[in-house]
Amino acid sequence: MISELHPADIAEIISRVSHKEGVALFEELDPDAAAEALHELRPDVQAAIIDKMDKEHASEIIERMPPDEAADVISDLPTEKAQEILGLIEKEEAESISELLGHEGDTAGGLMINEFIAYPPEITATDAIERFKKDAAEMDEIYYIYVTNENEKLLGAVSLRELIIAPSDARLADIMEDKLQTVSPETDEKVVSQLISKYNLLALPVVDKENVILGIVTVDDVMDLLLPPVSRRKQRKV
């Protein structure tokens, strides 16, 4: 019955009981529901619950979270527990989380998610749509398709609207916006939020010195800055 509640309502219930009871409730939750509810809890409650759970169950829940949220939780755990959980998570997912752990939480690198869709400039709109149907199946937040060259350097972006209304034989290079606002991983979160607000963006690319795209900061992340949830962190403990 609890699993059917909204994640925020589940978190409210968990917040009203002891850590021991919270762990017991989480162990009975569907892993997907537990992963969504975990994000709504205070950092200290998150860490206490995950730390007291067996590592197999804890890793199952962490693996279902977006990498940026998972990195926040992992960063608050004791080192040994964090390493155990990362060791049980699928390799690709664990690598994404570990990459995010290397950034301070109040920077673009700390805010970004490193899941995004990027295609080469020469493919057609039709081909891009077919690829998108497969690639987007397990992703939560998609606002743009990014266009990159063979070295993963960012060339431009295509909104989903533009992709859908484009002629079927149009190349992404012909319909992409190539004058993009970007930030580096070290850019302060306040600058990031100002850019997203000023240019009315749904997502802002984070690139390295070679203009290789590393991830994106979404408008939802900026909303977290303006209206911080209880789980919002300023810095990661790594």
Higher pLDDT, 74 or 39: 74
**188 DSSP assignment:** B
pLDDT for the residue numbered 176: 97
Which span out of 34-48, 52-66, 170-184 was modeled with the highest average pLDDT?
170-184
Give me the pLDDT at residue 231, please: 44
Question: What does the pLDDT average to over 7-31?
Answer: 86
Reported as a single tens digit per residue, the pLDDT across 80-97 is 999 999 999 998 889 889
Tell me how crowded residue 150 is: count the other CB atoms within 10 A of its CB.
6
pLDDT beyond 70 at 232: no
Q: In whole angstroms, what is the distance from residue 197 CA to residue 181 CA? A: 12
Q: What is the DSSP letter of 120?
A: -
pLDDT at 152: 93
Q: Are 38 and 64 in contact (CB under 8 A)?
A: no
Give the per-residue pLDDT at 235: 46
The Cα 172–Cα 157 span in angstroms is: 9
| Number of residues in the chain | 238
From CA 10, how far away is CA 5, in angstroms rounded? 6
pTM of the model: 0.76
Confidence class for position 21, pLDDT limits 50, 70, 90 = confident
Rounded CA separation 184/211 (Å): 9
β-pairing, 154-159 vs 203-207, is: unpaired
Q: pLDDT at position 218, please?
A: 92
Domains along the chain with CATH numbers: 2-101 (1.25.60.10), 118-226 (3.10.580.10)
CB 216 within 8 A of CB 192: no
**Which candidate, 217, 17, 10, 221, places its Cα nearest to that of 115?**
217
Confidence (pLDDT) at 2:
76
pLDDT of residue 228: 53
183 Cβ contact list (under 8 Å, min separation 6): 108, 191, 192, 195, 204, 205, 206, 207, 217
Distance (Å, whole) CA 200 – CA 148:
22
Provide the pairing of β-strand 213-218 with 203-207: antiparallel
Of 106, 138, 76, 73, the residue nearest 224 (C-alpha): 106
- Residue 83 pLDDT: 93
pLDDT tens-digit profile of 172-226? Answer: 999 999 999 999 999 999 999 999 999 999 999 999 999 999 999 999 887 766 6
